[in-house]
């Protein structure tokens, strides 16, 4: 991990920017979805991917805000290929509608960046009556990924290019509730703490990446595809500029240094070590099995 600007084995550090870690990379012919692309790190991620020639689909809750960002990107990069589609991660019906429209559009999918999220909110329930941070940051992305996975497999097979799935986690994953995930009381207001709930949701995104990588590799030959199922999480953004904050996401999404790498935790554009909970394969499997009925129609 790059610490205070010190470069890691990748040649990049905490001070590297998204443009720097993708310099010279040709993303033409690739299509990416970026959730939460209408603000902050999501916007910078979409901009830099578009700058590198990637066809970017901005999946956003507020379409008007998304269109304003799209216009700004096109002013800077007139040749950019950028679309805006509505996606409200607090609603699983919205996730299903987005996935149906996307899969019906004929667009391929090389890169899925599960970026959107909320942080340390007061206790609230989603539109599906699930604790809001767990629902928004993790569960809806779990459903979205499952609904888009066949598209990614087909794209990888037809293009002979590795697909990449990037889950944004945080160093906050180290500070969840005792036991990691409150399986028996996921929606209980009693004992709720906004910071611990945020940590729980970010631990869940990390465990999702790990279990997804395991399942994809287990089924690799059954699907007859070269899809690696790259699933990674990115680390802390404290004291960083937005271009620095988006660097790890763009590095994981595009840089050839990570070809063939799967299920790893990245921080400051370098492979890092997650918490003991984050490395718990049994916990990851339990979370997957817990999530399936919650996301069933």
- Catalytic residues, by residue number, are 192
Cβ neighbours for 292, distance < 8 A, ≥ 6 positions apart:
none
Q: Which of 45, 39, 42 is nearest to 19 (CA)?
A: 45
Q: Which of 255, 259, 267, 253 is nearest to 202 (CA)?
A: 267
The single residue listed with the structure tokens 């492979």 is 271
The single residue listed with the structure tokens 């299903």 is 96
H helix intervals, the chain:
18-21, 40-51, 63-76, 92-105, 132-133, 140-159, 194-218, 220-223, 242-245, 247-254, 281-294
Beta pairing class for 164-168 and 270-272: unpaired
From the CA atom positions of the chain, what is the Rg in Å?
18
- How many CA atoms lie less than 13 Å away from 163 in the CB half-sphere? 31
């Amino acid at each position: 991990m790059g610490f205070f600007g010190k470069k890691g084995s990748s040649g990049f550090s905490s001070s590297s920017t998204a443009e720097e870690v993708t310099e010279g990379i040709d993303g033409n012919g690739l299509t990416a979805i970026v959730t939460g692309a209408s603000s902050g790190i999501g916007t910078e991620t979409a901009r830099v991917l578009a700058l590198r020639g990637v066809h970017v689909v901005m999946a956003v809750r507020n379409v008007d805000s998304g269109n304003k960002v799209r216009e700004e990107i096109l002013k800077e990069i007139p040749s950019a290929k950028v679309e805006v589609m509505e996606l409200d991660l607090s609603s699983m019906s919205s996730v299903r509608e987005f996935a149906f429209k996307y899969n019906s559009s004929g667009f391929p999918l090389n890169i899925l960046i599960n970026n959107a999220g909320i942080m340390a909110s007061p206790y609230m329930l989603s539109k599906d009556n699930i604790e809001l941070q767990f629902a928004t940051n993790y569960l809806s992305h779990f459903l979205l990924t499952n609904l888009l996975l066949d598209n990614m497999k087909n794209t990888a097979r037809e293009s002979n290019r590795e697909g990449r799935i990037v889950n944004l986690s945080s160093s906050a994953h180290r500070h969840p509730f005792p036991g990691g995930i409150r399986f028996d009381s996921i929606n209980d207001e009693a004992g709720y703490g906004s910071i611990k709930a945020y940590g729980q949701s970010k631990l869940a995104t990390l465990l999702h990446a790990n279990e997804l990588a395991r399942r994809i590799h287990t089924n690799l030959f059954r699907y007859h595809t070269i899809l690696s199922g790259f699933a990674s999480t990115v680390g802390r953004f404290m004291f960083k500029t937005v271009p620095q904050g988006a660097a790890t996401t763009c590095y994981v999404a595009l840089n050839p240094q990570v070809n063939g790498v799967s299920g790893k935790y990245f921080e400051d554009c370098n492979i890092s070590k997650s918490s003991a909970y984050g490395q718990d394969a049994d916990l990851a499997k339990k979370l997957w099995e817990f999530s399936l009925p919650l996301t069933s129609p």
